[in-house]
Amino acid sequence: MNQVLLIFLPVLFALFVPLLYKTFSRIHTGWFVLLVPLTLAIYYARFIPNITEGPYTSTFYWVKSLDLSVTSYLDGLSLLFSLLITIIGSLVVLYSIFYLDRKKEQLHNFYFYLLMFMTAMLGVVQSDHLISLYLFWELTSISSFLLIGYWYNRDRSRFGALKSMMITVFGGLMMLGGFLLLAQAGGSYSIRELIANGSVIADSPYFIWMIVLILLGAFTKSAQFPFYIWLPDAMEAPTPVSAYLHSATMVKAGIYLVARLTPLFAVSEYWIWLVVLSGLITLFWGSFFAVKQTDLKGILAFSTVSQLGMIMAMLGAAGIAFHVESPQKTIFAFAAYAAIFHLVNHATFKGSLFMVAGIVDHETGTRDIRKLGGLMSLMPISFTIAAIGSLAMAGLPPFNGFLSKELFLTSMLSLKEFSLFNFSTWGPILPWVAFVASIFTFVYCLYFLYYTFMGKGNTSKLPKKPHEAPIGMLISPIILASLVVAIFFIPNVIGKYFIKPAVLAMQPQLYETIDDIPIHVQAWHGWTTELQMTIGIVVIGFLLFITLKKWQPIYRFVSEKWSLNGLYNRLMRFADVDSQKLSNLYMTGSMRHYLMYMFAFMVVAVISTLFMSNGFNYSTANTAEVGIFEIATLIVMIIGTLTVLIARTRLTAIIALGAVGYSVALFFIIFNAPDLALTQLVIETVSVALFLLAFYHLPKMSRHEERMPFKINNFLIALGVGVMVTLVALSAQSQKLLPSISQYYKDTVYTKAGGGNIVNVILVDYRGFDTLFEITVLAIAGMAILGMIKLRRPKKEKKTHETK
């Protein structure tokens, strides 16, 4: 139970943030908020030595009868993500204290959204229940929407927030469909139980649909092609938000989902191919277009897209380990290890780079790389941090990115060794895609570093006079940059306590302990193919960089109109403008038209259902005899109905309509239903009286109304409704698809409910809540009517229009 409560600790603390903001106005609210992620990081850190002896679970049932629960499930994989969320979160909060001015910013809103997002992410990575995972998943979309749109007075902030929510919520809904199919096939909502029951799920006819729907959710959240377009626009958020969401949290949610479900779905070639291809395409696309950007955070946004694609491709390759035996299993174990390792490395160098971009913007007043340059001597500490982060992302030693990049190349090269699923045919192409994408990765890393801090910059034309940031703003990126260097020298220590437990949790069928994972990372592996590829990446990348001005104009040939952003904008324009035109075609304001649409749909839906379920069978075996009273009453009803249609005066129509209602009451009496008959008589009496009261105030019927034209549409719909009701009645009388519940009421109405009148007991006991809500609705309507009756029009109405 304690683990579950700690998931909600950030959002519970957030409830007190507005109070702290107002009470301690002279103290930056971030100092209070900093205690939350620090406390959580310390708590989760105590699991590190013994995590392989777990998992550690804690469950809270919120609807136990429906098996709906929040289960905190801590194994190596979820612990690693929890530590990233809380440790990076602590550094981001510390950075935000110096980045956000307490006198100018609405800090209570910012930290409330940030803490809500922290709870959402912890819930995603620790949930063992599919429904609770989905709820936390959507909470990340909502809270990130609020964070991205924090500066809501800016058009670009609102646009970016809406764009991110539209795309990620769409993916979340698709993922929910996959979860429901998965739970239906596996007979459980527990991820652990579903993985254990994987063979049964793989035989489901909906297995491919599960893969596609769940991957849609993962790809939209982790900005995979073509859903990445929301991430660059999300850069309109404050830099602490960008550093947090896009280095260690939100964009890693899809990565986590793919890693968690790999043991379940990696048995399918569709899963492996979709994940690998999506990752490589995203890697290439993001790295290629990063060089086009002129905004510092825009460059980092596209670099994040490419790095996420890199991790996703490795996760896809890791799934192949479930199809091979040793020694090939060891080869593909590198892919899982590399994916998790690079995920950690990416959080360190990308977090520091985002913070540096924020420092540059904060101290110079711009993020436009065309206006920057020459800042190295003015901001030496920021330059050093940027150099470490950029070179690590480029994959150069002595930085952690070099090690995980080498493992990435190893995993891509290993694909050509796999003979199943046509990898022997197409596998050799994939390392070349990774090679070309890595070249552009090297180019955009130099592009970011050189044109910001080197070159000939004219600092006198900047909005602010540049200078080094205050030490408080530098602490967090310095810590992250230090980790970038430290991990390079102690990769196997990190591997033992963080990476291998996560790999063990990701591939539980393959290994029993972390000692069974035969991976030892070192900087020098000899004169390998991977090293030769790295040299090629550096040489070609450097040549492309020094000739950047000559080939960069090729981006002008990419039409914005036909880009993915252009397609999204046209789709949103259609939803906003063109859909309004379409709606106006049928939203005419006429109640008659709306009834026609509804009745026509009902006729088609019901008759189609009867046809597909073979519901046209009719049997007279259990029918009672029809007597003279039934026939006479039916004739009166028919005559009354026809009279309503052909009446030339309203009075005649009202009387005929009353006759139809009273005839129905007679039917209830004949069939021994006095309660229903009494209700019908009361309703008819009141209705006729109200009609006559309204009739007094209506004008006389005109000739046009007396001779209403015949309309074939109305006739066909009326005829269809009549046929539908008749068929439903005959079908219901002749066959039952489900057993009747009436016998249960008969057996329990007296013994369990203590009543003698079955109708009253059903209304009061069996449908008690339903009846209560109906009474509540009537009470609210009554109060509204009373308020309207008491309204009095002013004696003199004031003129509201001015004369020109």
pLDDT in tens, 199-225: 899 999 999 999 999 999 999 999 999
Q: Is residue 359 part of a domain?
A: yes
Rounded distance, CA 642 to CA 227, Å?
Answer: 60
Where would I find the H helices in 414-528?
A: 423-426, 429-453, 471-489, 491-494, 500-506
Q: Is residue 409 part of a domain?
A: yes
Residues 656 and 784 in one domain: no
Handedness of CA 31, 32, 36, 38 (dihedral sign): positive
Q: Is residue 242 part of a domain?
A: no
**Tens digit of each residue's pLDDT (9 = 90 or more) over 333-375:** 788 999 999 999 999 999 999 999 999 999 998 999 989 988 9
Where would I find the H helices in 34-129?
A: 35-45, 76-99, 107-126
Amino acid, res. 664? V
Contacts of 56 (CB under 8 A, 6+ apart): 3, 47, 72, 73, 74, 75
Exposure string over 580-599, b if 16+ CB within 10 A, otherwise e:
eeeeeeeeeeeeeeeebeeb
Give me 43's structure tokens.
């708590």
Give me 637's structure tokens.
């009803």
**Among the three residues 572, 606, 625, which one is the final residue of a domain in this structure?**
572
Give residue 661's domain range. 591-738
Residues 489 and 538 in one domain: yes
Residues 305 and 341 in one domain: yes
Residues 535 and 419 in one domain: yes
Amino acid, res. 598? M
**Among the three residues 697, 721, 738, which one is the final residue of a domain in this structure?**
738
Where would I find the H helices in 222-327?
A: 230-233, 239-245, 250-265, 269-290, 296-318
Identify the pLDDT of residue 804. 40
Rounded distance, CA 100 to CA 106, Å?
Answer: 9
Q: Is residue 37 part of a domain?
A: no
Query: Bridge partners of 70?
Result: 60
Find out whether 695 and 650 touch, Cβ atoms under 8 Å.
yes
Find out whether 130 and 189 touch, Cβ atoms under 8 Å.
yes
Identify the pLDDT of residue 802. 44
Amino acid, res. 593? H
Q: Is residue 373 part of a domain?
A: yes
Give me 252's structure tokens.
């890693």
Find out whether 7 and 122 touch, Cβ atoms under 8 Å.
yes
Q: Is residue 619 part of a domain?
A: yes
Q: What 3-state DSSP class applies to 642?
A: helix
Residue 695 belongs to domain with CATH number: 1.20.120
Residues 721 and 747 in one domain: no
Residues 557 and 603 in one domain: no
Contacts of 21 (CB under 8 A, 6+ apart): 29, 107, 108
Find out whether 424 and 323 touch, Cβ atoms under 8 Å.
no
Q: What 3-state DSSP class applies to 127?
A: strand
Residues 380 and 334 in one domain: yes
Residues 769 and 680 in one domain: no
Residues in the chain predicted with pLDDT less than 70, given as ranges, are: 1, 326-332, 419-421, 561-562, 618-622, 696, 698-710, 734-737, 792-804
Find out whether 404 and 534 touch, Cβ atoms under 8 Å.
no
Q: Is residue 617 part of a domain?
A: yes
Identify the pLDDT of residue 328. 62
**Among the three residues 518, 545, 572, which one is the final residue of a domain in this structure?**
572
Q: Is residue 216 part of a domain?
A: no
Please count the structural domains in the chain: 3
Rounded distance, CA 85 to CA 33, Å?
Answer: 14
Residues 367 and 272 in one domain: yes
- Count Cα atoms within 13 angstroms, Cβ side, for 79: 28
Residues 635 and 764 in one domain: no
- Phi and psi angles of residue 621, each rounded to the nearest 5 degrees, phi first: -65, -35
Residues 717 and 619 in one domain: yes
Question: What DSSP character marks residue 709?
Answer: P
- Count Cα atoms within 13 angstroms, Cβ side, for 290: 31
Residues 495 and 474 in one domain: yes
Residue reference for tokens 């510092």: 296
Identify the pLDDT of residue 741. 79
Cα angle for residues 52, 58, 59 (degrees, 5° grid): 145
- Count Cα atoms within 13 angstroms, Cβ side, for 540: 13
Find out whether 107 and 21 touch, Cβ atoms under 8 Å.
yes
Rounded distance, CA 603 to CA 598, Å?
Answer: 9
Rounded distance, CA 791 to CA 287, Å?
Answer: 66
Query: Bridge partners of 430?
Result: none
Rounded distance, CA 124 to CA 142, Å?
Answer: 14
If we measure between CA atoms, which residue out of 299, 239, 277, 294 comes closest to residue 441? Answer: 299
Q: What 3-state DSSP class applies to 58?
A: strand
Rounded distance, CA 264 to CA 507, Å?
Answer: 10
- Count Cα atoms within 13 angstroms, Cβ side, for 462: 25
Give me 754's structure tokens.
């203590």
Cα angle for residues 572, 578, 579 (degrees, 5° grid): 85
